[in-house]
Amino acid sequence: MSTTMDLLLNEPFTGSMSADEARLRSIFTGCSDMVFHAFTTAAHTPVLCIYCVGLCDTERLERQVLAPLQQSAANVRITVGASHETTHGTTHGTTHGTPSALEHDETMRGTSTSEAPMSSVEMVHTMGQAVQALMDGGALLLMDGETSGTVYPLYKTPNRTPQEPAAESTVRGARDGFTESLDVNLSLVRKRIKTPSLKLKKMTVGEYTSTQAALVYVEGIIDPSLLKEAESRLNRLNLKEVLESQYIEEAIIDQKHSPFPQMMSTERPDVVASNVLEGRFALIVDGTPFSLIAPVTLFSMLQSPEDYYQDQYMSVFIRWLRYLFYVLSLLLPSAYVAITTFHQEMIPTVLMLSIAKAREEIPFPALVEAFIMEISFEALREAGVRLPKQVGSAVSIVGALIIGQAATSAGIVSAPMIIIVAITGIASFMIPRYAASIVTRLLRFPMMLLAGTLGLTGVMLGLILIVIHLSSLRSFGVPYLSPATPTSVRSLKDVWWRPSPKGSPK
């Protein structure tokens, strides 16, 4: 934003309605959705009303503000319930039965009195405050001789009702999910944690978008040093636009070039509630249903909210199965390539003869064969996501069956390779966090390349490099492999086992 515009936004209102209108028109030059409506009240007082079409509820504006001003030959005073000013305000008791009503000090000229009731009315004193209020969907009223403007919060933003997140479905658990409204999302969290210790600190990020965000944590549970670090990173943000929570995530994580997620994204309010009760913080951003949670570890990314909604022993069994298949999703194709290419003596004779018979007419080495199938599988999976829901799943399933059968019949790939790729795909679907499954899909290709060139030595080399990277990775200062390393025996209980809820009988 230009320096001239910055100076203009910092200027206070002059008290001259025509001069203030001229400055606001220059700010909104080229904005055809901004309406400047000048009219005269029944008491012959000139008033300027400014609002943005689409963001402001014009029906409520006409009914609750403009009609009382234009139809009453009155001294119209603006009476509000539970209102506040942007800079200051004074409480004045009760007006017409409205408890704790606030009455605007300035009255419009006239002879009698009528009411224009509205809650949460704000007074703005600078151009920047007025612009922000208009961009939020408020209606601004200006009068001659007044060095402040009155903003009516007549927001009309489209919202959808909370629905179950499609990407985080569970057999048992809550069915509501976050929406694109910040206030709705905060209420869903407050609904679950009904204590004053739950703190919600709002902030504005993004120079052009002015996106509202809220830092959520439980005072007394979160580590004060972690909270201080989170606030410090958020205060240092200098983003031009914030259209999704990923914009903020990339700006505040510890290592931007790591493929492993360092913040957890979720659409489920119960996940946010459980994590903040464990001492983490959440960042909820307006305009997106995906909230961010930090700090996280590798093991927390492999845990599902349903672990605590099912039987303890079944949850432990599923958790161990998830750990096993997470490793398989990363290593199975590379292990197959390494063994069939360099270490055939490790395969039992009968199985080796079966694999050799299946591959005798395949013109490609196992490495090329694996790359062909893995790339095809990733393309089919991405196509299934992008296609309409009605045909997406059908195309991905039919495409996989037809392509797999045709490739086998044509002698391009072998049947064992199709089985390996299918098991790998199923293993990646078991990972509860989409961001964590993406990592294995990405690292699978360099691991296969190492396996095809160096055999099992290459696989071990790749694993060593991954472990070294994970050992050095931090999420807001918390080691990514904790509590395994550095070892915390008390915290390891929630990694290998699913402990009982706090306060339950021992």
- 253 in a domain, yes or no? yes
The reply to whether 324 and 472 lie within a common domain is yes
How far apart CA 329 and CA 443 sit, in angstroms, is 10
The reply to whether 58 and 140 lie within a common domain is yes
The reply to whether 95 and 174 lie within a common domain is no
- 498 in a domain, yes or no? no
The reply to whether 67 and 204 lie within a common domain is no
The reply to whether 138 and 178 lie within a common domain is no
The reply to whether 174 and 134 lie within a common domain is no
- 189 in a domain, yes or no? yes
Nearest to 475 by CA among 281, 343, 219: 281
DSSP 337-379: HHHHHH-GGGS-HHHHHHHHHHHTT--S-HHHHHHHHHHHHHH
The reply to whether 332 and 288 lie within a common domain is no
The reply to whether 61 and 173 lie within a common domain is no
By the 8 A CB rule, do 112 and 75 touch? yes
Bridge-based pairing state of the strands 46-52 and 139-143: antiparallel
Final residue belonging to a domain, choices 152, 187, 214: 152
DSSP 390-421: HHHHHHHHHHHHHHHHHHHHHTSS-HHHHHHH
**What tens digit of pLDDT does each residue of 355-413 get?**
999 888 888 999 999 998 899 888 888 877 777 766 666 666 666 667 777 888 888 88
Q: What share of the chain is helix, strand, coil (3-state, %, to 5)?
A: 45, 15, 35
The reply to whether 398 and 292 lie within a common domain is no
The reply to whether 288 and 434 lie within a common domain is no
Alpha helices in 47-169 (DSSP H): 58-61, 67-71, 127-135
**What tens digit of pLDDT does each residue of 199-224 get?**
999 999 998 888 999 999 999 999 99
Final residue belonging to a domain, choices 296, 330, 361: 296
The pLDDT assigned to 63 comes to: 87
- 302 in a domain, yes or no? no
Q: What is the pTM of this model?
A: 0.80
- 170 in a domain, yes or no? yes
- The total domain count for the chain is 3
Nearest to 123 by CA among 108, 101, 105, 97: 105
Specify the DSSP element, H or E, that contains 467: helix 456-472
Find the domain containing 51 and state its range: 3-152
Model confidence band, residue 104 (pLDDT cutoffs 50, 70, 90): very low
The reply to whether 16 and 134 lie within a common domain is yes
- 504 in a domain, yes or no? no
Final residue belonging to a domain, choices 267, 296, 325: 296
Phi, psi for 257 (deg, rounded to 5): -100, 10
- 158 in a domain, yes or no? no
- 243 in a domain, yes or no? yes
Q: Could you tell me which residue, 121 or 283, shows the higher pLDDT?
A: 283
The reply to whether 55 and 130 lie within a common domain is yes
**What tens digit of pLDDT does each residue of 415-470 get?**
899 899 989 988 988 998 989 999 999 999 999 999 999 999 999 999 999 999 99
